[in-house]
Amino acid sequence: MITTFQDRLAREQQHLLASASFEEAPKGVGTVRFLARCNGDSGAVIERAKEILMLVNENSTGEWPEDAKWFELLPKWFVDRCAPEDTQEEAEKWLAWWKTLPPEEQGRVERQKAWPLDDWVYWFVPDNRTWFWWDAVAVDVNNLVVAVDVYEWPFPSGSLTWLLRASGAVSVESEQ
């Protein structure tokens, strides 16, 4: 069954407000789970991430807001955790440095780097969006699991990992 973007948003909205039921099946190609480590606030991390996705969804119908508008639409705490936009020179310098690192170090540095808000928002533009919140549970105060309904494989998961990190997770790893 082919679903529209509006159907996906409506379904995600339901899942942000209440957990997915056991009888409900994902509509995409499947779900992918992410494990996040927190500093004693896993429940709060989930709630902050949901808050941001609710705001994104509220602004995903009709005309897509200009990049600068997102600085006003999203809460200050989230915007403040995003990195400033790099100049072309800064981006080239960082990339040149990153290329000198061994592959395992490149991955670690990438996972720890903050995202500029404009880069993060790009992945929520309706034509770019390939995952939608399915469910989340705080396993304990330091660990949580998030499942997303994925509509393309492979899919760009960086926007989800940054959302969780900006919401307070210390680290985020895919189970797959």
How many whole angstroms from its chain centre is CA 169? Answer: 12
Q: pTM for this structure?
A: 0.90
Structure confidence at residue 25 (pLDDT) = 80
Tally the domains of the chain. 1
State the Cα–Cα distance between residues 6 and 75, nearest whole angstrom: 24
3-state secondary structure of 95: helix
pLDDT digits (tens, 9 = 90+) for 64-77: 999 999 999 999 99
Sign of CA dihedral 10, 12, 13, 19: positive
Distance separating alpha carbons of residues 24 and 170, to the nearest angstrom = 31
* Tokens linked to 99: 């290329």
Please tell me the predicted confidence (pLDDT) of residue 2: 62
- The percent helix, strand, coil of the chain (3-state, each to 5) is 45, 20, 35
Rounded to whole angstroms, the Cα distance separating 141 from 175 reads: 19
**Predicted local distance difference test score (pLDDT) of residue 54:** 97
Alpha helices in the chain (DSSP H): 5-17, 42-58, 67-73, 76-81, 88-99, 103-112, 117-122, 158-166
The domain in which residue 167 lies consists of 5-174
176-32-75 Cα angle (round to 5): 120
- Could you list the pLDDT tens digit for every one of the 176 residues in the chain? 568 999 999 999 999 998 877 777 888 888 999 999 999 999 999 999 999 999 999 999 889 999 999 999 999 999 999 998 877 888 888 889 888 888 888 877 777 889 999 999 999 999 999 999 999 999 999 999 999 999 999 899 999 999 999 999 999 999 86
Q: Tokens 């809460």 map to which residue?
A: 75
Count of all residues that appear for the chain in the document: 176
